[in-house]
Amino acid sequence: MGWVGAFNYGACTVIVRDQAYNALFSAPIGLGDSANFTDPTFGLELTISVDSSGNVTLTAPADFQPSQSYSVIVAPNYNVAGAQMQNGALSVSAGTQQGACFAEDSSDADVVPFSGLHPVIPQPILLTSIPGNHTVFGMRSGTFAPPLTIIGSLPSGRVGVSYSAALGAQGGVTPYTPWSVISGELPDGLAIDPITGLIYGLPTTSGTFSFTVQVKDAISDTATKPTSINIVANDRAARFHGAPDALTTPFASPILGSSNFTVECMAMVDASDAINGLVSGRATNTKGWALQIQDGSFHWRQAINGDLIDNEANALDGGLAVNNTLYHIAVTRQVNLFTLWINGVNTVQKTIVGTIDEPDVTVLALGTSFFLTAEGENPLRMKWFALTLGTARYTSNFTPPISASAITGSTSAIDFDGPLGSTTFTDYTGRIWTNNGAVDIELLP
């Protein structure tokens, strides 16, 4: 006797279980090969074989008498292409959920229908006997699942921003549970829901975290997938939306005068071909000083020794400014040596003797080249700012500070890393900065 199911076989393992679902046989069988095994309950020698087309046949001895049922499972590829009787003409299409028992002898007309087939889990092959010692075998078809696999990828997250994402599963037998991480580590602050596979939480540390996810299905098949999540630092910045956005804090003239100093900030602009004022100390149109981005490059303008602020002889110009790119920009004075530093690199340097003219200056301003006329108040983002009087902090190329809090001895320093949407600002020395427009805290793009 025997049963044949025409499978999309591939390189598959064949599993035979008894009616108590004990595995009697489980091993790969190549096309055109067969294997023998014993059912110890009945002392039966059974044969499982796969022909060159991938048809799977379970054969018992011709004198088989006791009632017994078996499940034959082809794994991992369960895609049924159809099925047919070894000694009959019945053909069953994939996806149908009915079957029948037939006598092996094609002249025997006995047909015993059966129903209630599970839509996915393979059903038993019924081996029994009927009067006349005709050995019969069961025939069944069903909806078979392909191999269980984990699909998809996980998006990046940000420190301090709620994270929620999941991989998917396909194939196998639903439901897919539990989900787990079997190696590596999730980002700090995240966990995986064993029922849904959802990875969720509030990331607390930046970095790329690699780990392996595992899921099981209803018949305890497993699938794994190495994956990773990149958590980026939750960089925030003060967003200057354009005029009249500017921040000011009281400062008596002169701010810089003839002393050594360091003016620096970390900022990016939306359009470098516009005038983007970063930091300035001016009370008149012709005097004072300003650090700005204009015409695609960085500029330091200053009125010195009675000259006007626009006198190019006293200006520092250099370095290409790319839109929406974060730069550390600094200007230092060491005695009479003025230097413009971009990302820690000496970009331009001039020796200029004299005192910076700052008549009637009353405020230090951010986000503008000249606060009183809204000059240079174009869209930009500033991550932090610092002013250090009496010291040129940089005298050779350097690695830029990551924040204002890393700067010691500053006269005024502020990190724009408060809660998103914040519109009030106080620096580390206690100076309150007046918001003259709609400057607020946003995430850096």
The better pLDDT of the pair 321, 102 is held by: 321
Mean pLDDT, rounded, for 259-275: 92
Kindly tell me if the per-residue pLDDT of 77 is higher than 50.
Answer: no
Predicted local confidence at residue 193, as pLDDT: 97
The CATH number of the domain where 197 resides is what?
2.60.40.10
Instruction: Judge if 187 and 122 occupy the same domain.
Output: no
Give the confidence band of 44 by pLDDT, cuts at 50, 70, 90: confident
Query: What percentage of the chain reaches a pLDDT higher than 70?
Result: 75
The better pLDDT of the pair 147, 443 is held by: 443
Predicted local confidence at residue 94, as pLDDT: 28
Give the confidence band of 27 by pLDDT, cuts at 50, 70, 90: confident
Kindly tell me if the per-residue pLDDT of 118 is higher than 90.
Answer: no
Quick: pLDDT tens for 337-361. 999 999 999 999 999 999 999 999 9
Quick: pLDDT tens for 51-67. 665 556 667 665 555 45
Instruction: Judge if 127 and 242 occupy the same domain.
Output: no
Quick: pLDDT tens for 127-186. 332 222 222 233 333 333 467 899 999 999 988 788 999 999 998 778 999 999 999 999
The terminus-to-terminus CA distance of the chain in angstroms comes to: 70
Kindly tell me if the per-residue pLDDT of 197 is higher than 50.
Answer: yes
Q: Is 432 contained in some domain?
A: yes
pTM beyond cutoff 0.95: no
Among the ranges given (136-150, 209-223, 374-388), the one the predictor scored with the smallest mean pLDDT: 136-150
What average pLDDT does the chain have?
79
Q: Given the structure tokens 């059966």, which residue do they identify? A: 114
Kindly tell me if the per-residue pLDDT of 50 is higher than 80.
Answer: no
Instruction: Judge if 174 and 93 occupy the same domain.
Output: no
Predicted local confidence at residue 76, as pLDDT: 38
Q: Given the structure tokens 């599970």, which residue do they identify? A: 118
Instruction: Judge if 158 and 218 occupy the same domain.
Output: yes
Quick: pLDDT tens for 394-432. 999 999 998 899 899 999 999 998 988 999 999 999 999
Q: Is 250 contained in some domain?
A: yes
- 328: helix, strand or coil: strand
Which structural domain range is residue 99 located in? Answer: 2-139
What pairs with residue 162 in β-bridges?
none
Predicted local confidence at residue 73, as pLDDT: 61
Predicted local confidence at residue 402, as pLDDT: 86
Whether omega before 178 lies within 30 degrees of 0, making that bond cis, reads: yes
Are 163 and 237 in contact, with CB atoms under 8 Å apart? Answer: no
Instruction: Judge if 251 and 378 occupy the same domain.
Output: yes
Kindly tell me if the per-residue pLDDT of 330 is higher than 80.
Answer: yes
The CATH number of the domain where 305 resides is what?
2.60.120.200
How many separate domains does the chain show? 3
Predicted local confidence at residue 427, as pLDDT: 96
Among the ranges given (117-126, 209-218, 299-308), the one the predictor scored with the smallest mean pLDDT: 117-126
Predicted local confidence at residue 302, as pLDDT: 97
Rounded-to-integer distance, Cα 118 and Cα 21, Å: 15
253 phi/psi in degrees, rounded to 5: -75, 140
Predicted local confidence at residue 74, as pLDDT: 55
Beta strand pairing call for 198-201 and 163-166: antiparallel
Are 416 and 425 in contact, with CB atoms under 8 Å apart? Answer: yes
Kindly tell me if the per-residue pLDDT of 433 is higher than 90.
Answer: yes
Amino acid (1-letter code) at residue 250: P
Instruction: Judge if 371 and 276 occupy the same domain.
Output: yes
Predicted local confidence at residue 88, as pLDDT: 26
Query: What percentage of the chain reaches a pLDDT higher than 90?
Result: 55
Domain boundary among the residues 232, 247, 275 is at 232
Q: Please name which of 293, 276, 365 lies closest in space to residue 329, comparing C-alpha atoms.
A: 293
Instruction: Judge if 129 and 226 occupy the same domain.
Output: no
Are 245 and 442 in contact, with CB atoms under 8 Å apart? Answer: no
Predicted local confidence at residue 219, as pLDDT: 75
Instruction: Judge if 180 and 73 occupy the same domain.
Output: no
Instruction: Judge if 263 and 338 occupy the same domain.
Output: yes
Predicted local confidence at residue 436, as pLDDT: 96
Kindly tell me if the per-residue pLDDT of 91 is higher than 50.
Answer: no
Predicted local confidence at residue 254, as pLDDT: 94
Instruction: Judge if 225 and 306 occupy the same domain.
Output: no
Domain boundary among the residues 179, 211, 232 is at 232
Instruction: Judge if 105 and 212 occupy the same domain.
Output: no
Token digits of residue 88:
């009959």
The better pLDDT of the pair 69, 234 is held by: 234
The three-state DSSP-derived secondary structure of the chain is CEEEEEECCCCCEEEEECCCCCEEEEEECCCCCEEEEEECCCCEEEEEEECCCCEEEEECCCCCCCCEEEEEEEECCCCEEEEECCCCCCEECCCCCCEEEEECCCCCCCEEEECCCCCCCCCEEEEEEECCCEEEEEECCCCCCCCCEEECCCCCEECCCCEEEECEEECCCCCCCCEEEEEECCCCCEEECCCCCEEEECCCCCEEEEEEEEEECCCCCEEEEEEEEEEECCCEEEEECCCCCCEEEECCCCCCCCCCEEEEEEEEECCCCCCEEEEEECCCCCCCEEEEEECCEEEEEECECCCCCCCHHHCEEEEECCCCCCEEEEEEEECCEEEEEECCEEEEEEECCCCECCCCCCEEEECCCEHHHCECCCCEEEEEEEEEECCCCCCCCCCCCCCHHHCCCCCEEEECCCCCCCCCEECCCCCEEEECCCCEEEECC
Among the ranges given (109-113, 171-175, 185-189, 251-255), the one the predictor scored with the smallest mean pLDDT: 109-113
Q: Is 214 contained in some domain?
A: yes
Instruction: Judge if 46 and 155 occupy the same domain.
Output: no
Predicted local confidence at residue 196, as pLDDT: 95
Predicted local confidence at residue 101, as pLDDT: 27
Q: Please name which of 81, 91, 88 lies closest in space to residue 111, comparing C-alpha atoms.
A: 88
Q: Is 144 contained in some domain?
A: no
Domain boundary among the residues 139, 157, 179 is at 139
Are 190 and 201 in contact, with CB atoms under 8 Å apart? Answer: yes
Predicted local confidence at residue 55, as pLDDT: 59
Predicted local confidence at residue 67, as pLDDT: 53
Quick: pLDDT tens for 280-315. 999 999 999 999 998 899 999 999 999 999 999 999
Are 34 and 49 in contact, with CB atoms under 8 Å apart? Answer: yes
What pairs with residue 337 in β-bridges?
334, 351
Are 33 and 83 in contact, with CB atoms under 8 Å apart? Answer: no
